[in-house]
């Protein structure tokens, strides 16, 4: 079987010849495409450090076989900022001290972007915490993370309303 796949990663088409069907999306991003912003924490779907958006939805890239996702659209932490301008979720994590060591942060931020797109949590901090429970932070920056998600969600909603007006 042909093990070549084609992905759109952060808006750019990437053709990759896999040498083995065992390659996960996480390993493909880090080892083949040199996009090391997506972190390998547990590699077993328990920590959330590898969170990316796959066709617009947040998933654990460590538990997805690359070969199974030929043709997919992927957004990673490297694709969020517009040039020097940070994405509102990135800016909110800085403003609210939503991290300490930073290792889990790309996963936290991608998860937050996914959460806001899902639109299920509203402005209830309890629902935000529940919806972020797939991302562990061993520094314990959870309080800042929740505040950052809530503020970024508001920023994006306000921007959406301005665009619609």
Partner 1 sequence: MNTFDYVRPASVADAIAAATAPGAAYLAAGTNLLDLMKGDIARPERLVDISRLPGLDRIETLPDGAVRIGALVRNADLAHDALFAKTYPAVAEALLSGASAQLRNAATMGGNLMQRTRCGYFYDVASACNKRAPGSGCDARAGENRLHAVLGWSEACIATHPSDVCVPLAALDAVVEIEGRDGRREMPLEALHRLPGDTPAQDTALAPGDLILAVRLPAEAAGFAANARYLKLRERTSYAFALVSAAAALRLEGGVIAEARLALGGVAAKPWRSRAAEQALAGRRPDDDAFRRAAQAALADARPSGDNGFKIELARRLVARALALAAAGTPERLPALPASPFSSAAGARHVA
CB 29, CB 75: distance < 8 Å = no
Closest alpha carbon to 25 in 51, 56, 46: 51
* Closest CB to partner 1 among residues 127, 159: 127
Question: From CA 47, how far away is CA 1, in angstroms rounded?
Answer: 33
CB 69, CB 25: distance < 8 Å = yes
Residues binding partner 1 (CB under 8 A): 1, 3, 20-22, 24, 43-45, 48, 51, 54, 57-60, 62-65, 67-68, 111, 114-115, 118, 120, 124-127, 129-135
Shortest distance in whole angstroms from residue 155 CB to partner 1: 21
- Sign of the C-alpha dihedral computed for residues 147, 150, 154 and 159 taken in this order: positive
What DSSP designation does 7 have?
E
* Closest CB to partner 1 among residues 46, 101: 46
Q: Calculate the CA 68 to chain-centre distance.
A: 19
Shortest distance in whole angstroms from residue 81 CB to partner 1: 22
Shortest distance in whole angstroms from residue 83 CB to partner 1: 28
Shortest distance in whole angstroms from residue 120 CB to partner 1: 7
* Closest CB to partner 1 among residues 2, 84: 2
* Closest CB to partner 1 among residues 6, 120: 120
């Amino acid at each position: 079987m042909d093990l070549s796949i084609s992905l759109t990663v952060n808006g750019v088409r990437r053709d990759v010849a896999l040498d083995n069907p065992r390659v996960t999306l996480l390993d493909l991003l880090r080892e083949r495409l040199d996009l090391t912003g997506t972190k390998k924490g547990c590699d077993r779907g328990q920590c959330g450090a590898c969170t990316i958006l796959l066709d617009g939805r947040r998933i654990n890239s460590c538990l997805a076989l690359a070969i199974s996702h030929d043709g997919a659209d992927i957004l990673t932490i490297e694709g969020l900022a517009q040039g020097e301008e940070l994405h509102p979720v990135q800016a909110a994590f800085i403003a609210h001290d939503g991290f300490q060591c930073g290792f889990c942060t790309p996963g936290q931020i991608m998860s937050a972007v996914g959460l806001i797109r899902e639109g299920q949590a509203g402005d209830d901090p309890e629902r935000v915490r529940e919806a972020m429970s797939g991302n562990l932070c061993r520094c314990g920056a959870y309080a800042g993370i929740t505040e950052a998600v809530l503020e970024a969600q508001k920023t994006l909603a306000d921007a959406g309303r301005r665009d619609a007006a």
